[in-house]
Amino acid sequence: MKSRIFISLTLLFIFSNVISQTITKKRITTKGSAAKKTNAVKPVYNINQLTGKWQETTRRSISDNAKVSFTDSLQLNFNKRDSVIVRDGISISQAGYASIAADNSLQVAGDIYSIISLSKNTLIVNDGEFIRTFQKRKIFYSETLGKIIIPKENLSDSVSINVKKTIGKWSIYRTQATPGAAEDSAIIKGIHFSQLNEDGSVSGEVYFTKADKNVTLPFIAIFDKGTLQINALSHTWNLNTYKADGKELIFGKHGGLVYFAKPL
């Protein structure tokens, strides 16, 4: 009798232990599966939403959310699913890889931006210094600029211009120069005449390249009887004015380097 009771208790113990191990194993499996689902993060946006051309229209400082004046408007052309052509509105285009990571960071030709929002026609990103707003375009502004041929005799004499017609942002779309005219190497790429002052001078900002570097500086400009003097912090340009009708601005030195600009 005792022998039977002992055998029964032994079988009951073994059976209970097997059930306990089975339940424990099931719980671990279930917990692991749930954790895997929780950690799966997918980006909110995908690269296909960016197909097409995007033009930067607004720039704000991250530090104080103030609107920033700029002439180097960034252009993004997502011409293929995983590639992009980047141009800052002035310099040479750069092609590279394009992707959106799980944290919704946008990589374009080596630069990384954090996507704040993306809709059908508006893209807003954070580059660590500025908040940039892009609008979708069928064609970039620079692509609408035609090549206007100005007879050389029209540039032989400078003319006085209406300073009010220079106020605004201007993009240099063409230059005309004789060999050796650009020896100074400070070449204007864009200019913003922002404010007409009481003394007749104009405040603004000039974007130029010097020694293969892009530089943006504030300036005070003086227009006087067919001449234009631009006084920036580290550079001064003494130029002549040839045309300013609100649609085109031509300035420089006849026989030297002449700038042809269109409003941005």
Query: Looking at 162-233, which runs of residues are DSSP E strands?
Result: 168-177, 187-196, 202-210, 213-224, 227-232
Close Cβ partners of 171 (under 8 Å, ≥ 6 residues apart): 71, 73, 89, 90, 141, 142, 145, 189, 190, 261, 262, 263, 264
Residue-by-residue pLDDT tens, the chain, 264 positions: 545 544 454 544 444 454 444 433 333 333 333 334 445 556 788 888 999 999 898 999 999 988 887 777 888 999 876 778 877 755 556 788 888 988 889 988 778 899 999 999 999 999 999 999 999 988 876 666 554 444 443 566 889 999 999 999 999 888 887 655 555 568 898 999 999 999 999 999 999 888 778 889 999 999 999 999 999 988 899 999 999 999 999 999 877 788 999 998
Query: Looking at 24-140, which runs of residues are DSSP E strands?
Result: 52-61, 75-80, 83-87, 94-100, 105-108, 111-118, 122-126, 130-137
Q: Which of 209, 235, 236 is nearest to 222 (CA)?
A: 236
What is the full DSSP assignment across 121-164? SEEEEE-SSEEEEEEEESS-GGGG---PPPPGGGGSS-----GG
Burial class (CB in 10 A: 0-12, 13-18, 19+), 226: middle
Close Cβ partners of 48 (under 8 Å, ≥ 6 residues apart): 81
How many helices (H) and strands (E) in the chain?
1, 16
3-class SS shares of the chain: helix, strand, coil, % to 5: 20, 45, 35
- Would you say the pTM of this structure is higher than 0.75? no
Dihedral (CA of 23, 28, 33, 38) sign: positive
